[in-house]
Amino acid sequence: MSTLPVIAAVDGSDDSLRALQWAVTEAGRRGATLRVVHVRQYAAWTQPDVLVAGPPEPTEDPVLGQVRAALADRADLPPVEYVDMEGSPAAVVPQLGAGAQLLVLGSRGRGGFASLLLGSNGMAAARDADCPVVIVPRPGREVRGETRVEPGPRVVVGASADAPDGHTLAFAFAAADRMGARVDVVSAFPWPEYVWSTAGGFTPSVADQEAAQKDTVGLIKDIVAPYREAHPEVRVAVIAAPGDAAGHIVGASRDAELVVVGRHRRRVLKPAPLLGSVTHAVLLHASSPIAVVPPEEPEES
């Protein structure tokens, strides 16, 4: 078991305090210390016609005081550490992942524009952090086009039959095991496929969709077999559907305990971290907490 803490980045906003409560529960599940971090924006040390020799004297951080008050009534608190830092949150918060087993943030902080569904700090952390990042959205996100799922607690994970990521699947199964939940593995296959018709044009082939779906389910079952063996108490449901992967994952997110998606691998022509279009869409629209998992790095030859 990792001895690294679960880190909750807070800024005093309702979103961050909501994420903090989720982080408390998850730290308890993991048997981990919870580290609450507030990154203060660089203070303006000078004003017109006034020269200040250095930074102001340190003061009690009111945000951390607010957090202590918010946690005062919780009887299930794990060991908690409070850390006050200064800097640009969008730069500092992702760096916290180097010393964490999990980094938890709200979907938007105090500095976000009202029209944004995901703040810059959450986006930067999900893209750049070395550890998995969980974004806790605001309640009441509307989910369109629900994916049909069985009732009960569940962890939803997106998986590609062509290029599955082991870290993402391992994270999802371990999370479901801790939560006593089922894993719903969602995989999309390209559709429609077109066939040449007697009328001289291409038309969608409805007959092959069932076969494509069956093949995808078979591939996914083979892919997840090692994770099922590692977590024998976890039930698994495979959802294979045509078309838009992000739409199906978001549709399955309603009332889920967690949605798990992967982050793109770095490539030679794109060495910087990337979220990927599916992960980006899930972050913006899923209605449950979303975990973004860094990918397996390919072994060097």
Fold match between domain 6-136 and domain 154-293? yes
Q: Is 6 exposed, middle or buried (0-12, 13-18, 19+ CB in 10 A)?
A: buried
Can you give the pTM of this predicted structure?
A: 0.84
CATH architecture of 154-293: 3-Layer(aba) Sandwich (3.40)
Q: 6-136 belongs to which homologous superfamily?
A: HUPs (3.40.50.620)
Residue 249 — pLDDT band, cuts 50, 70, 90? very high
DSSP state of 71: H
* Residue 22 φ/ψ region, left for φ over 0, alpha for ψ in the -120 to 50 degree band, beta for the rest: alpha
Reply yes or no on whether the pLDDT at 271 is more than 80.
no
Can you state the angle between helices 120-128 and 277-285, rounded to 10 degrees? 140
Contact 15, 108 (CB under 8 A): yes
| Cβ-based neighbour number of residue 79 at 10 Å | 11
| Cβ-based neighbour number of residue 76 at 10 Å | 8
Spatial distance between the Cα atoms of 202 and 55, rounded to a whole number of angstroms:
70
Which pLDDT does position 99 carry in this prediction? 95
List CB contacts of 57: < 8 A, sequence separation 6 or more: none
Q: Which of 33-47, 50-64, 267-281 has the lowest mean pLDDT?
A: 50-64
Residue 32 — pLDDT band, cuts 50, 70, 90? very high
CA angle, 156 then 189 then 107, to 5°: 35
Q: Which of 88-92, 148-152, 189-193 has the lowest mean pLDDT?
A: 189-193
Q: Write out pLDDT tens, residues 47-74.
A: 444 444 444 444 578 999 999 999 998 9
Which pLDDT does position 219 carry in this prediction? 94
Which pLDDT does position 144 carry in this prediction? 72
Q: Write out pLDDT tens, residues 114-134.
A: 434 456 788 889 999 999 999
Helix (H/G/I), strand (E/B), else coil: 227: helix
Per-position DSSP letters for 112-126, written without gaps between them = S-TT-SS-HHHHHHH
List CB contacts of 151: < 8 A, sequence separation 6 or more: none
Find the DSSP H helices in 160-208: 166-179
Which pLDDT does position 117 carry in this prediction? 45
Reply yes or no on whether the pLDDT at 27 is more than 60.
yes
Share of the chain above pLDDT 90, in %: 54
Higher pLDDT, 231 or 74: 231
Query: Would you list the domain boundaries of the chain?
Result: 6-136, 154-293
Which pLDDT does position 277 carry in this prediction? 85
Q: What is the mean pLDDT of the chain?
A: 83
Reply yes or no on whether the pLDDT at 78 is more than 50.
yes
Spatial distance between the Cα atoms of 281 and 279, rounded to a whole number of angstroms:
5
What backbone phi and psi angles, to 5 degrees, belong to 191?
A: -165, 145
State the average pLDDT over residues 164-185. Answer: 96
Tokens encoding 51: 């020269």
Per-position DSSP letters for 92-105, written without gaps between them = HHHHGGGG-SEEEE
Spatial distance between the Cα atoms of 253 and 248, rounded to a whole number of angstroms:
9
DSSP state of 186: E
Which pLDDT does position 206 carry in this prediction? 60
Residue 274 — pLDDT band, cuts 50, 70, 90? low
State the average pLDDT over residues 177-206. Answer: 73
